[in-house]
Chains A and B, each alone.
Chain A
């Protein structure tokens, strides 16, 4: 029980803290029968206390019902369940369906926004959407064209809408939104179009803008206090961003905010990460490029930054820092601390004190990661907190027009956005990962508004001298920085995980399998092949006293681009032959929700 109480998710459920945050969100998250937020809870643990489906009976799981979304492209995110209604979203055109769980999933209402299809053309890497949010009786949908719309959860009627970006200059949206208190916080995509990243808070009541915090630029536009906003315990100082760029490059410098958001109601801090600096050619942007590639902690009311930590200064590999920040209360080095754990694209897993921004652990969560020898953990060192870059794999040191080969991980990272889960019962994180390396050749590009601004050529292939597959599903101890177990997968694991009190962990695979494994050992307990590859996130809910597991199928996304044709293999003879097989031999497009149950 003591372990159980360590879980931040449980701490957040305690009624005493509810008044601090959005009451309706807290109240709905607190009901274990529901899936009220994409991330499972504000802490992003993706843990459910439901235990009817457990490691002994999960082998009997069967399909209860299915629902076709009518859309073919990549399906990320998951449905929500609030009360007796399930809310299912789709990729562009971003339709929303409200399904009546009391009437066999009958469609109560559908919302079909009209969007200019030209937005599709400026979406890097498929037209995915990571789902809707719920607050105060509203379903919040952030469309691909950056329209944020609030729908009446009961009727689907539009309450208000506001446009948060401009697709004409490459600003689009793929992420879900975070409702906090009387606000809803949104990000922006478009790092491959030179978009300048920011997060914006809108009023939940009417959609009016409350605050906006840019990732780059002048201090006042970034909502930082040079004296009190810290980086590893020290004030960031004046003009911290402007000093780290050459000229006006920061204006088209990326640092977009398309990942997940978490929130600690006690500290009143919102956590998220910023994406890659633009362009992918590092020679065109000398300097540390602050604050791209940065973990940010901001006050939910004002947006003011409390602390930053830049993981990959002067990125040379497109290792966006947008992956989720998972908030837990755990014992580390004998001390109970409020932790933030983050599995970065760069292949390092960071454990930090989320109150102070102190760096506690930074270790590779895939042994093949080779671009760095590790992070300088000595607070007295000049390079404290910086990763030591290996010259051989430095695309900046090798320079423009030079092909840097054998860099691990590839640009899609050891993990992309597909979120990990945390179980307070095992104190382990369950992490979907990529096991892919790359060659990277940067070259000069010109900027044109609304046009791709990439500046590098990549070729990717399964990690050499390994099991031949392109993914692993791992269990991670964030206090010691060690892999507890690792399940090799033929393809990248591009599905968000779910951990439950039934001692089962669920995830999906690109071939389309929903898999259930033992939370302690990783032993496979169940698998079922759904109609299409899975890049969605597993969720669970209870209805009529029965626990269900839900997953969206529908292959696509970043994974669908490279893997559909099979990745290039420059190292013939290495690894298993099966690893190079192309995904299109296993699955086809098609959006579908599959819901599982136990018999009886």
Chain B
């Protein structure tokens, strides 16, 4: 991925956070830039004008927490593969340590035809609901002030998602007071970051309905071993 593309995606991510306050922040073009920004935000602030305008126009689509007014982004099937709008392939290819990965070794979900989810996706549901839900709302659907992460993961790539979770991000100005904490030192989040990611991916892709997954694979010994080593390490 080129650096230009990365900057663009990061910019979208800021639009996404600001969008949580209904797009009004973006409409106020005379506002001074936010006084403090995490890495991703800073990248967005210097990205190209045309790009920014495009994102501003897109922002309201991400604004509504419930996501009922706007069309959700769609995962496309290309040559037998599932591909996100950002081009990332999310087709499960192989399993390692109890988790599914794509051919490019990016974590992903696997849901059987009868709806049985892989254990990592289920684990992600639980950890999301404990650690992320108090701001981002149930089932990745967003709240009155935090964006719907089921949509965010369709735009961010895996590494950007990780960076934001690890370092946090801020959008603080006259119109918005949006601050996400850094979770890089929190084992309850970081030991399960891939689980949370694939859970949100499954939600965003439309392959997993709201609520607690009904059927799931059992926890594998490999998964348990890795969990123990991370939580106790």
Give the chain B neighbours of A443 by CB distance below 8 A.
126, 130
Q: Please, how many angstroms separate the alpha-carbon atoms of A72 and B174 in the complex?
A: 10
Docked-complex contact B177 and A584, CB < 8 angstroms: no
- CB atoms of A72 and B176 under 8 A apart: yes
- Does the CB pair B145–A126 fall under 8 Å? yes
A582, chain B: closest CB distance, angstroms: 4
Given A403-B212, A584-B64, are A561 and B144 neighbors across the interface (CB < 8 Å)?
Answer: yes
Interface presence of A93 (CB below 8 A)? yes
Inter-chain CA distance A117–B170, complex, in Å, is: 8
With contacts A439-B212, A561-B134, A584-B66 known, is A445 near B188, CB below 8 A? yes
A459: Cβ under 8 A from any B Cβ: yes
| Stretch from A148-156, A181-189, A298-306, A450-458 that touches the partner | A450-458
Binary interface encoding of chain B residues 134-149 relative to chain A, with 1 for a CB under 8 A from any of its CBs, else 0: 1101110111110010
A192 touches B172 (CB 8 A): no
Asked whether A1 is an interface residue with its Cβ less than 8 Å from the other chain, the reply is no
Q: Is A104 an interface residue (CB 8 A)?
A: no
* Minimum Cβ distance to chain B for residue A232 (Å): 34
> A585–B145 contact, CB under 8 A?
no
Given known A-B contacts A564-B143, A582-B68, A457 and B126 have beta carbons under 8 A apart: yes
From residue B226, how far is it (CB to closest CB) to chain A in Å? 15
Question: Is B103 an interface residue when CB atoms closer than 8 A count as contact?
Answer: no
Contact B134 A124 (CB under 8 A): yes
Q: Which residue from chain A places its CB closest to the CB of B24 in the assembled complex?
A: A72
- Taking a contact as CB atoms under 8 Å apart, the answer to whether B177 and A460 are in contact is no
Contact A564 B179 (CB under 8 A): no
Question: Is A589's CB under 8 angstroms from B144's CB?
Answer: yes
Of the residues B68, B131, B138, B210, contact of A452 by C-beta under 8 Å: B131
Q: CB < 8 Å: which of B141, B183, B185, B187 contacts A565?
A: B141
Contact with A along B149-193 (1 / 0, CB 8 A): 000000000000000000010101011111111110111110000
With A127-B177, A448-B185: A570-B142 Cβ-Cβ less than 8 Å: no
Q: Shortest CB–CB separation between residue A214 and chain B, in angstroms? A: 25
- Is A73 an interface position by the 8 A CB rule? yes
- Contact residue among B36, B66, B170, B178 (Cβ-Cβ distance under 8 Å from A564): B66
Partner of A561, one of B68, B137, B211: B137
Contact of A122 with B by CB under 8 A? yes
User: Is A18 an interface position by the 8 A CB rule?
Assistant: no
Closest to A562 in B: B138
A560 touching B139 by the CB < 8 A rule? no
Q: Does A74 contact B (CB under 8 A)?
A: yes
> Which residues from chain A contact B138 at a C-beta distance below 8 Å?
459-460, 561-562, 565, 567-568
Residue interface bits A56-98, CB-to-B below 8 A is 1, else 0: 0000000000000011111000000000000000001100000
Is B144's CB under 8 angstroms from A564's CB? yes
* Interchain CA distance A560-B136 in the complex, whole Å: 10
Are A584 and B65 also in contact (CB < 8 A) when A455-B130, A589-B22 are? yes
Q: Which residue of B lies closest to A532 (CB)?
A: B144
CA distance A457 to B131 in the complex (A): 9
Please, how many angstroms separate the alpha-carbon atoms of A567 and B21 in the complex? 20
Known: A565-B137, A582-B68. A451 touches B185 (CB 8 A): yes
Contact A448:B211 (CB < 8 A) given known A73-B177, A74-B144, A564-B65: no
Measured CA separation A116–B59 after assembly (Å) = 27
Q: Which residues of A contact B65 (CB under 8 A)?
A: 564-565, 584
Cα distance A163–B102 when bound, in Å? 50
Which of A99-157 touch B at CB < 8 Å? 117-118, 120-122, 124-127
Measured between beta carbons, the chain A residues less than 8 angstroms from B186 are: 448, 451-452
Known: A117-B179, A564-B144, A568-B210. A446 touches B134 (CB 8 A): no
A118-B179, A454-B130 are known contacts. Are A560 and B143 too (CB-CB below 8 A)? Answer: yes
CB distance from B119 to the nearest CB of A (A): 12
CA distance A289 to B177 in the complex (A): 36
Residues of B at under 8 Å CB distance from A? 21-22, 24, 36, 64-68, 125-126, 129-131, 133-135, 137-139, 141-145, 148, 168, 170, 172, 174-183, 185-189, 210-212, 231
A-B pairs, 5 with minimum CB distance: A565-B141, A121-B181, A560-B144, A457-B129, A120-B179
Q: With contacts A73-B144, A451-B189 known, what are 16 further pairs, Cβ within 8 A?
A: A72-B24, A117-B170, A117-B172, A120-B172, A439-B212, A451-B181, A455-B188, A555-B144, A561-B133, A561-B137, A562-B137, A562-B143, A565-B65, A565-B141, A567-B138, A568-B210
